[in-house]
Structure formats: C-alpha cells, structure tokens
Amino acid sequence: MMKHLLSLVWLAAVAPFGAAEPQLSVGFAEADISPTLGKKPVYMAGFGSNRTATKIHDPILARAVVLSDGTKTLALVSVDLVGFFLPNVENIRKELKGIDHLIVSSTHNHEGPDTVGLWGASPFQSGVDAEYVKGIEATIAKIVGAADKSKVAAKAKIGTANAPELITDNRLPEVKHDELVAIRFEAATGGKLIGILIQWNCHPETLDDKNREITADFVGYTVSAVKKKHGCPVAYFTGTVGGLMTSLNVPLKNDRGVELKDGTFEKAEAFGNALAKVADKALTAAVDAKLVPFDLRVKTILVPVDNALYKLAKTVGVLNRPMFPWTGTTTPKDWKEAADVTKPVGVKTEVAYLKLGELDIAAIPGEIYPELVLGKVQDPPDPGADFPAAAVEPAIYAPLKGKFKMLLGLANDELGYFIPKRQWDAEKPFCYKLKSSQYGEVNSCGPDAAAAICNAFRALAEAPKK
Ligand SMILES: [Zn+2]
C-alpha cells in the first residue's frame, strides 16, 4: 500500500496536472485545385498579361500536413499557385477548429492561374477569379480538417542533399540556397510510412512564358516520382526563391543526350525526376529527428510599400487587399486602412518562427534572397548599389540553433522579392558595370521590406521561450 502511494506521488511530480509526454502525430491530405476551363477566361500567372489557359495538362494541387505535439497543432499547406494572400489565409482560419496555426505556402507556380491579380487581360485589370479563390479557401479548410482527423502517432527522420546543378541564379551576385530538406514520417508503432515532406528552393517556371496549359511544372513530376517510389502522400514546399533561384536555363539532357529546351513538358519532367533523385538522396541520408515539443511564434507586421506600380495596382483594383498608413514602424498601434495610397503606406503580413523540437522553421511571406537567409549579403557592397551604406539585415538562419532547419517561402503571403538593401539597384550607375538594372526591384515592395521581415524574424527567434 505504501509503495503504491509513493509511486503515485512520484508520478504527480513528473507529470503535473496529468500532462502527457509530448508525442508527435502527423496526418496528410490533398485535393485538386485546378480551375474549370471553358466558362470564363483563366489568366495564367507569373509572366506577361493576358496569357489565357487552354487546357489542364496536369492537375494543380493543395497538399496539407497537420502535425501535433499533443498540445499544439500546426497545419502546413502547400498550393501549386503563384501566391496566396494573408487575407485569404485569414478567411480559412475562421473555418478551422483545433488548429493553433495555419501556414499556406505557395510553390510560386508560374504555370497556374493568377491568384494575386497582376496578370489579367491588361496591366489594369485583375486576373483573379474571386469565386475560384473562395473555392480554394474552402478546399484548404477541408484538407486541413481531413489531415487533422487522419493523424497518427509518428516518428520522423530528416535528411538533406545539395543540388546546385538544379538551380540557375540569374541575378548577380551568385548566391544559391541549394539545400533540399526531406522529412520522412513513420508510424510510431509498426513503422509504416505515413508521408514525406520535401522542401526545395526554385521557381517552378520550366514551361516558361508561352505555355498555355495549366501544370504544376516540375513540382508535379517530383511529387509523382517520390509518391510512386514510396507509395505514400508527398507534400512539396517552396523555400528561398529570390535573388533569383530558377529552373530556367538549368542544363538537362534526355536519354539520347539531346539538350532539353525550356518551355517544354519534356524538360519539366526531366527536371522533376532529377529533383526526385535528390530527394531520394536526402531520404537515404535521413537520421532520427525529435520534432516535439512545439514552440510556435507568429508576428503580424506592417511592411512598407514604396513600389509605385504596386500602389497604382492597388488604386485601380488589380491588387485587392488593404494598405495601411506607414509611420516608420512595423508594429503600428491601430490598423486603420489608408484612405490615400499615394501617401506612405504598408501591407499587413505575418512572419513565423516554428520550433518543432530539433527542427527550426522560418516562415517568410514572400520571395527572400538567399543572401538574407544564409548571411551572404554582399560585403563590401558594389559601388554601383543605390544604398551602399545600408546596414546588412540580420540573416534568417543565423539565430537558428536546432539540429535541422528549413524555410517556407511565400508563407501566408506573397509580397514579392525581399532584396538586401545594399544590393538594391534601380538607379544608375548599375552594379557589376552592367548597362541596365537587373530584374528584381520591380517585383519588390521596396528597399526597406527586407529589413522589416528580417528584423521581425530575428526578434521572434531570439525571444525567450514562453
Ligand atoms: Zn518570383
């Protein structure tokens, strides 16, 4: 009797209030989010205006991975879209129950429908079909619910592999984020494979700017190949794609040794299969990873918008989201929509630091330059730079001390490029003695957007554990 009592006291001491040991559980689900063709024009995103879709070549998908540590539940969703705005994510959250945090990360597919607005019939018309986007919101809520329901107790293995040969960096200086991260989830008992998560850093745009068939680009082929080999659900996430990480001009040959051309499905397939082999290499190298407990840190911030084209797009209704007065702070006291966007304004967005045991995840709301992730901002700056004296933004990966790390790009928003301020180069003279400005600034909120993001992330990562 005495012994029994003692053991009860001991139990109470290690498990106060009956709290259980954190246990990872994971569930996967996916759904087709291809648009319906034939009723109204479907504008394709990512290159020029008025590129209407003629056919669905392969389905574009939404893929959900729901993870829990027994106390907190996190939903990670990837969509084969060019981008998905925070207000849409907020709509989905209203429909979710039992999910502590939702991340919707776009693969940044340039061969799918416009969900941002910039690629309509003309530069002054939005390419977004509001009804279609509403449907995507409902589908995401549904698959998150399904993945949550299907969760089973799990253990994880994480592996990485580098593949610089599968990225072209088409903007100087050449800095690539070339690490693929693969996570393999197995049932805690029995070891049955539950699903695989792959994260890689590249624009899905192999089909280029003339293609008019909806496709998930190389991502679709990679996911199919990994699924086929392992016979389990596979979720692919896009990470660092700024600066500019692209699949275009990556040299690939077919079996007969013929160089494959951009703009062809043959090349997208070859790229996808090559990337699936890299994923396999990472999976083979995977080691046990403890992914509990969770520490989910999220910050809502205002990012200044200096880009005159974005402001014009807002004025004419091409960019349909609120803007707020910019008063020099990323954390304004009240959020009252700006009446006049010709004055200094910003957009509300979200940055997150998600610590899942030994895995650190940075969730960044746009296309961040690898320089800013890896701590490789040019130093000293090029004399042609517009702001050579600008402070170097704090690197995203620098404060992450976990055994494993991963970046989710275009996470809960698509604010365009986050460019290191001292590499901003819109005015003459141009860097590297070039005759014209390199591509990038035109699709960025402005030279101070990167600092807003990087400082917010640093504050989250360095805050004491609650
Ligand atoms: Zn892009």
Q: Tell me the per-residue pLDDT of 281-294, one tens digit each, with 9 for 90 and over.
A: 999 999 999 999 99
**Positive or negative torsion for Cα 141, 91, 49, 424:** negative
Question: Total domain count for the chain?
Answer: 1
Distance CA 325, CA 305 (A): 10
pLDDT score at 17? 54
- Residues 270 and 274: their CA atoms lie apart, in Å, by 6
In this prediction, residue 19 carries a pLDDT of 62
Residue 143 lies in a domain: no
Question: Separation of 357 CA from ligand 1 center, angstroms?
Answer: 31
Whole-number Å distance, alpha carbon 203 to ligand 1 midpoint, is 6
> Which residues are close to ligand 1, an ion, with C-beta < 5 A?
367
Question: Is 422 within the bounds of a domain?
Answer: yes
Q: How much distance in Å is there from the Cα of 194 to the middle of ligand 1? A: 32
User: For residue 60, what is the enclosing H or E element?
Assistant: none
**Residue 114 lies inside a defined structural domain of this protein:** no
In a domain, 47, yes or no: no
In a domain, residue 454? The reply is yes
Q: What angle do CA 227, 214, 181 make, to 5 degrees?
A: 35
Is the omega angle on the peptide bond into residue 429 within 30 degrees of 0, that is, cis?
Answer: yes
Residue 429 Cα to ligand 1 midpoint, Å, equals: 25
pLDDT in tens, 87-125: 999 999 999 999 999 999 999 999 999 999 999 999 999
For residue 29, what are the β-bridge partners?
64
Ligand 1 centre from 137 Cα, in Å?
22
**What backbone phi and psi angles, to 5 degrees, belong to 67?**
-125, 145
Position 18 scores a pLDDT of 52
For residue 1, pLDDT beyond 50: no
Q: Within a 10 A sphere around the Cβ of 12, how many other Cβ atoms?
A: 11
Helices (H), 150-262: 218-230
Average pLDDT over residues 358-368: 98
Distance of CA 86 to the CA centre of its chain: 13
Which amino acid belongs to residue 264?
T
Stretch (H or E) spanning 457:
helix 449-462
* Overall average pLDDT of the 56-67 stretch: 98
Residue 342 included in any domain: yes
From CA 50, how far away is CA 43, in angstroms rounded? 6
299 within some domain:
yes
Contact 99, 145 (CB under 8 A): no
Would you say residue 98 lies in a domain? no
Q: What is the pLDDT of residue 466?
A: 72
Distance 416 CA to ligand 1 centre (A): 7
Note the pLDDT tens digit of each residue in 194-252: 999 999 999 999 999 999 999 999 999 999 999 999 999 999 999 999 999 999 999 99
- Span from the CA of 367 to the centroid of ligand 1 (angstroms): 6
Q: Which domain holds residue 411?
A: 154-466
Start-to-end Cα distance in the chain: 40
Residue 5: pLDDT over 60: no
pLDDT for 161 beyond 50: yes
Q: Which stretches of 69-205 are DSSP H helices?
A: 86-95, 130-149
d(CA 168, CA 288): 32
Provide the pLDDT for residue 465: 82
Residue 345 Cα to ligand 1 midpoint, Å, equals 23
pLDDT at 20 (0 to 100)? 74
CA angle 136, 64, 88 (to 5 degrees): 35
Q: How far, in Å, from the CA of 335 to the mean position of ligand 1?
A: 28
Element spanning 308, H or E:
helix 308-315
Ligand 1 center–CA 202 separation, angstroms: 9
